[in-house]
Copies of this chain bind each other. A is one copy, B any other.
Amino acid sequence: MKVAKPTLPKGTRDFLPEEMRKRQYIFNIIESHFKKFGFLPVETPAQENLSVLSGKYGEEGDQLMFRILNSGDFLKDISPDSLTGGYKNVLPYISEKALRYDLTVPFARMVVMHQHEINFPFKRYQIQPVWRADRPQKGRYREFYQCDADVIGSDSLLLEAELITLYYEIFSALNLKVNILLNNRKILTALSIYLGIPEQLTEFTIILDKLDKIGIAGVVEAWNAKGFPESVGEAFINLDIKSTSHLDFRNTINRFQVLFSDIPVGLEGLSELITVWELLPHFNRTLQQHVSLDFTLARGLNYYTGAILEVKSLDTEMGSIGGGGRYDNLTGLFGLPGISGMGISLGADRIYDVIEAAGKFPEYLISAVQVLLIYFDDQTLPATLKVLQELRNAGISAEIYPDQKKIGKQYEFAAKKNIPWVGLIGTSELSTQTLKVKYLPTGAEYSWDIPSFISEIKKAK
């Protein structure tokens, strides 16, 4: 067989054990919190029909989807004429499926298909990769994991408070400092009314959403370029909207209650924010300190109908490491309207980068395997295998070096694999039924029987 050059597709990655262990640490913390909060796991297939995905992510999404070529003879029954007129014309003839682009649309599809098996309100979590043919760059990959938790089938504001709590507890468990930004779609609607451009709500917020990147001057300029009256920018600047600390919550709400006194949707949004805010301390006494109002937060407006959430890392300048919100009509896309949902999403790859940059991965992750047993010789092998079996039966990750190589080489293997304990049974240990044990981090040596060895490992863990 011809030798092939080993290569990886652009924007994709192999994960070697060291990185995998760190990723598993993140996923385990996220998943155990999802479970503790009563969320149940689901999974959907990597491939979805284009009839399900198309048009759900805007034009950009349709561009960036990875499409699957139809199986077998994909040109069978296709006339050559169908293959002209540009690739967009050809596409429907040769591809019916694409790779999952996010977890939300497949979840909505699943809920509608299985609506009679599902017990609403349905709390589900889902941790799976998604694929986007984005231009790869630092921190942006073509395959990456999303971790989503959603509750569907209830419009209770308890859920907003509970999901903010869930966010906070996950990031606390990961030892990360975060600021959770909170807004409400109804505030954005009210702002567009207040500024006299209710018909331009979408353009207004799409541009406003870029505030972080282009600053207020850039936002006003972009509004002007869209043909908004100049008064809009001025009036907006005069509103002096800032992300506020928890100490300013009341003042901000009070100020806008006056401004929105004639705008019912605005008052409704403020009232929802107050309810959520007042629930927070009942979930976690100090939680309000980590939540800020931000009336400029928009995030995919056309999708959210109530609360809008975003999580910013305070450990590094990494932008958003999570986002979510309330949506009232997601399953309506698939013919089941009127089911309100509230969800959050965590970007595992970006969280990884934040923890790495902040140097906050726990030390213990480097040692996956606890014990290496030396292959000394064939006479002592049976006794060594007996130790191996007892270590494993005690739940300790252990291995024997498979070849009878020089002992120095075997120790070197343990050091490279970050295995802390090395055990050896030589001829004299065989007669005394002990092990010669070396603890590599300190170099200390011991002579132990098996039960002592096991208990020392468990103590050190």
Contacts and interface: CB of A to CB of B under 8 A. Distances in A.
A45 B143 contact: yes
Interface stretch (A202-210, A249-257, A384-392): A384-392
A360 interface: no
Using C-beta atoms within 8 Å of the partner chain, give the interface range for chain A: 35 or more
Interface string A56-81: 00000001101111011111100010
B3 A335 contact: yes
Nearest to A38: B399
Contacts of A389: 282-284
Interface string A1-22: 1111111110011111100110
A114 B73 CA distance: 36
Count identical subunits in the complex. Answer: 2
A359 interface: no
A47 B386 CA distance: 43
A15 to B, nearest CB: 4
Given A402-B121, A403-B156, A133 B20 contact: no
Given A282-B382, A398-B38, A402-B151, A133 B6 contact: no
Contacts of A413: 119, 121
A137 to B, nearest CB: 15
A43 interface: yes
A87 interface: yes
B143 A4 contact: no
Interface string A254-272: 0000000000000000000
Contact of A17 (B17, B42, B44, B73): B42
A334 to B, nearest CB: 4
Contacts of A133: 71-72
B3 A55 contact: no
**A113, A162, A392, A413 — most chain B CB neighbours (10 Å):** A392
Interface stretch (A89-97, A314-322, A420-428, A450-458): A89-97
A146 interface: no
Contact of A417 (B52, B119, B392): B119
Interface stretch (A123-131, A184-192, A214-222): A123-131
Interface in A395-413: 395-403, 413
A188 to B, nearest CB: 20
Given A6-B335, A7-B51, A282-B386, 19 more contacts: A1-B333, A4-B51, A7-B113, A12-B45, A14-B45, A15-B42, A15-B43, A35-B397, A36-B392, A36-B397, A47-B66, A47-B142, A73-B87, A75-B86, A75-B90, A94-B94, A119-B413, A156-B402, A162-B400
CB-CB nearest 9 A-B residue pairs: A38-B399, A17-B40, A12-B45, A156-B402, A71-B133, A282-B385, A20-B41, A6-B334, A67-B69
30 contacts: A1-B333, A2-B55, A4-B51, A4-B333, A4-B334, A6-B109, A7-B49, A7-B51, A8-B48, A8-B49, A8-B113, A9-B48, A14-B44, A15-B42, A36-B395, A38-B399, A45-B143, A47-B66, A63-B72, A64-B71, A66-B68, A67-B68, A73-B86, A119-B416, A121-B402, A151-B402, A156-B403, A159-B402, A162-B402, A282-B386
